[in-house]
Structure 1
């Protein structure tokens, strides 16, 4: 189903705004026929109906609908408008990695400890179209200005729009395993200093432990407890490099109850004990 496609952008770098405008088509007018335009084309319909296709996929966009067309495909209208139709278009691009996948599959791009995977549906109906319309109006105004401040204004408003689409998709936990996995990962990263059990994670997400584990295994290739361990060890590496804390204090601050246990796990993970790791990266 074309309505179940998901676009994923790994950030940083963040996708960036190029240009935008609001158009009104009268009955009989239609979207231009274009191919490989080199930018993503986001469409949002205010009123009427817009018939648009990408290669062999076709959609009729109605008020509140958002569609993102790829930069490397053929876009065209398969029939003229039958009524007055007003819509916004936004061109944007990214220099980072991106992919289009079925929403029920994890894909290859994932957020990790330091990066974020922006996930937006190829097509979706917005829950709060009025808010999106306001953001788009402000974006168009900023796009018309050539002042130095307008650059920051339009990029920030565009990222706000992307955030709305990303969070709108993630608000439904049943959408895909990746949504559940990333909610679990966010909780683990926020509370990694605390003793976290699978039962606590299950209660927080209001999902069965086995389901959470299956989702994290599919998306991150590890269980929740393994993910927690890897994250704690990564935080420990940073503290060993940035601070002169004792090994015991580093262990305690990263959620390990016993220093010997921490040292054994750290050595198994990095190939060297904590003190040797510190000396390797801090010696002059």
Structure 2
């Protein structure tokens, strides 16, 4: 499966959209290097599309994203009346393709930083059976209805918001086909640790919460996130402590307790090991800059 991967920010952005009906015997336009991504979502009938040397039969409930840098055209006329939404979008960031979603690197665990914008990867299937076609049709209809007001800022903003929802639905369709057990377990573990970081968490309680053996959870997190559950939890606690150090006047000991450390000395030791300076010195460094 060909998968488009976009590095964000910036997010892919909406340009324009519409809907067309093709009668039997009609074909999609023959175009080369149009410079924008072209999302086709078929509601009835079938489109017979070619992109360079790859053939796609896009039937009702399916979606195809044509690339901006390749030649695409219909290799066969429509056999029945065919309805299709089209949507042009583009990105100002990096993008590429992969055949394996599991091979795309996950977020760097060392990048759990409350004060740094972290990039992430958006994965979209180039050709997919939609998991919720009716909902995608509804969102596309909303976009088409807004086109008459596209000269207004409020409409352009709403276009972008609805477009992001469509991207989420495309990604969700991809997840049904590609998410591997290890990826899912690592994601569940990370979410649980973030939600319960103030509590006493052990590998045993984590295993019981997710209903997986702790060794398997650790293996999945190491593979997908590059760290153990203990390391992930520690870094997340320290990031939450950094926020409290800068945004409150709470005592160091109380901040440590609020993020899951029972001993102030252990909190200070862990903080210093990760940040290179003590919690008190960290707070003073930024206070002196005000």
TM-score tier after normalising by the smaller chain length: 0.7 to 0.9
> Would you say how many aligned residue pairs link Structure 1 and Structure 2?
281
Structure 2 portions without partners, runs of 5+: none
Aligned: 1:181 with 2:178: no
Q: Aligned-pair distance for 1:35? A: 2.7
* Comparing 20-29 and 90-99, the one that deviates more: 90-99
Q: Aligned-pair distance for 1:174? A: 4.2
- Aligned partners of 1:90, 1:205: CA distance in 2, in Å? 40
SS at match of 1:77: strand
The answer to whether the 8 Å contact 1:65/1:126 transfers is yes
2:148 to 144, 147, 150: 144
- Aligned partners of 1:180, 1:42: CA distance in 2, in Å? 32
1:213 to 202, 212, 218: 218
The answer to whether the 8 Å contact 1:34/1:74 transfers is yes
SS at match of 1:245: coil
- Aligned partners of 1:28, 1:120: CA distance in 2, in Å? 31
Give the 5 Å matches for 1:157-172. Answer: 157-170=162-175
Change (3 A) 1:179 1:37: farther
* Comparing 99-108 and 230-239, the one that deviates more: 99-108
What is the RMSD of the two structures over their aligned residues, measured on CA atoms? 2.6
Change (3 A) 1:204 1:31: farther
SS at match of 1:95: coil
Structure 1 portions without partners, runs of 5+: none
* Comparing 138-147 and 193-202, the one that deviates more: 193-202
The Cα offsets for residues 207-260 of structure 1, whole Å up to 9 and x where unpaired, read as 554444333323321122222211211222222222222111221122222221
Aligned match of 1:127 = 131
* Comparing 223-232 and 161-170, the one that deviates more: 161-170
Length-normalised TM-score, structure 1:
0.86
- Aligned partners of 2:184, 2:31: CA distance in 1, in Å? 34
Length-normalised TM-score, structure 2:
0.85
Aligned: 1:51 with 2:48: yes
Q: Aligned-pair distance for 1:88? A: 0.9
- Aligned partners of 1:210, 1:57: CA distance in 2, in Å? 43
